[in-house]
Amino acid sequence: MKIFVVPLLLLANLSLPAKGQQAIDSSRYIFFLHNKFVEEHGPLEKHPSYGRAEYKEILGHFTNDGFVVISEKRKPNTDVKIYAEKAAAQIDSLLHAGINPSRITVVGTSKGGYIAQYVSSLMKNKQLNFVFIGSSFKNDLDDDDNIRLYGRMLSITEASDTGNIPLSTQPRCKNSSFASLKEITLHTNLHHGFLFKALDLWIDPTEKWARFQIINR
């Protein structure tokens, strides 16, 4: 598999069936939306507390395990809602090409996880898969609680991450119409830095979720 680090809305690098033709692609697609630190500083600069964000390593982990990965380094100060619209448009392109929605997973860490939640709200597709990593806190904006979530949702949080709360307790989750929700709490003691690292502890359940495999935790 190749790794596609392309601007959203550009599908030229993906070999998709023509519209109206039967899709024979058995690939599984991951849209990976990184955290705010990578957005503002890039993948090489070190965070003063958490070190370097292992963006490329995370992408490489997914592609080495057989996923088609679509990702890019966002511009600083990216508007969450506008970017979610771009991601939703690209997912629509895959769906119109005949890709089964169950083969598409949107994965987001921190700010990327909030973007993924807006994508879920925009798509309103219960067959799409979503993984939100470190994206549920007590001080979330009230505006986030006005959205409705759809699809198969996995939320991964870290016990030492200050202020984190289960997604299932958020008003936006209670008001949603999702197909399923599973929540995992990690105990790495890395605080918010857990999602900076290409850790099997969150990558493995993410990949299992994307493959419809049972997660025993």
What would the two tokens of residue 121 be? 């709200």
Residues sharing a CB contact under 8 Å with residue 59, sequence separation 6 or more, in sequence order? 3, 5, 32, 69, 71
What is residue 182's predicted lDDT score, i.e. its pLDDT?
A: 97
Q: What secondary structure letter does DSSP report for 17?
A: P
What is residue 192's predicted lDDT score, i.e. its pLDDT?
A: 98
3-10+26-210 folds as Rossmann fold (3.40.50)
Average pLDDT value for the chain: 89
Burial zone of 211 (CB within 10 Å; 0-12 exposed, 13-18 middle, 19+ buried): middle
What is residue 217's predicted lDDT score, i.e. its pLDDT?
A: 67
What is residue 141's predicted lDDT score, i.e. its pLDDT?
A: 80
Residues sharing a CB contact under 8 Å with residue 167, sequence separation 6 or more, in sequence order? 132, 135, 136, 153, 155, 157, 173, 181, 183
Helix (H) or strand (E) holding 56: helix 55-64
What is residue 25's predicted lDDT score, i.e. its pLDDT?
A: 56
Q: What secondary structure letter does DSSP report for 212?
A: T
**Cα 23 to Cα 191: distance, rounded to the nearest angstrom:** 42
Domain extents in the chain = 3-10+26-210
Distances (CA, A) of 190 to 49, 159, 195: 10, 9, 9
What is residue 48's predicted lDDT score, i.e. its pLDDT?
A: 96
Of 50, 86, 4, 40, nearest in space to 160 by CA: 50
What is residue 175's predicted lDDT score, i.e. its pLDDT?
A: 83
What is residue 9's predicted lDDT score, i.e. its pLDDT?
A: 38
Helix (H) or strand (E) holding 105: strand 104-109
What is residue 22's predicted lDDT score, i.e. its pLDDT?
A: 43
Residues lower than pLDDT 50 in the chain: 1-15, 17, 19-24
What is residue 186's predicted lDDT score, i.e. its pLDDT?
A: 98
* Contact yes or no for 177/146 (Cβ under 8 A): no
Instruction: Name the phi and psi angles at 56, rounded to 5.
Output: -65, -35
Q: The tokens 């849209």 sit on which residue? A: 31
Give CA 170 to chain center in angstroms.
Answer: 18
**Cα 202 to Cα 186: distance, rounded to the nearest angstrom:** 8
What is residue 111's predicted lDDT score, i.e. its pLDDT?
A: 97
What is residue 142's predicted lDDT score, i.e. its pLDDT?
A: 81
What is residue 150's predicted lDDT score, i.e. its pLDDT?
A: 96
What is residue 209's predicted lDDT score, i.e. its pLDDT?
A: 97
